[in-house]
Amino acid sequence: PSRFTEEAKKEQHPFAYLPFGAGPRGCIGMKMGLLETKITLLRILQKFQFKTCPETEIPLQLKSKATLGPKNGVYIILESR
C-alpha cells in the first residue's frame, strides 16, 4: 500500500506508533517486557519442532488486506523435541 512508501514514512509523525511510549515518561517496564517476550519465543523454539500439516496449501497463496497474509491459513504441527 501507499502508506508504506518512503515518502509516506517521511511524512508520518515519529511518535505515531509507540507501544511503550517515549521520552522521560515512557514505560519503565519496556525492556523487561521485550526481554520476556524474546525469552518466551526462544523457549518455544528450543522445546518444539515445527512441521507443516497436510491441510496447509503448498504453494502458499497470499491475500492482501490491511496486511499481507496466507489466504487459507497456515497449519502447523508442534512436536516436542
Q: Which residues are annotated as a binding site for heme?
A: 27
Q: How far apart are CA 74 and CA 68, in angstroms?
A: 13
Q: How far apart are CA 71 and CA 65, in angstroms?
A: 10
Q: Which residues have a Cβ under 8 Å from the Cβ of 2 and sit 6 or more positions away?
A: 8
Residues annotated within a binding site: 27
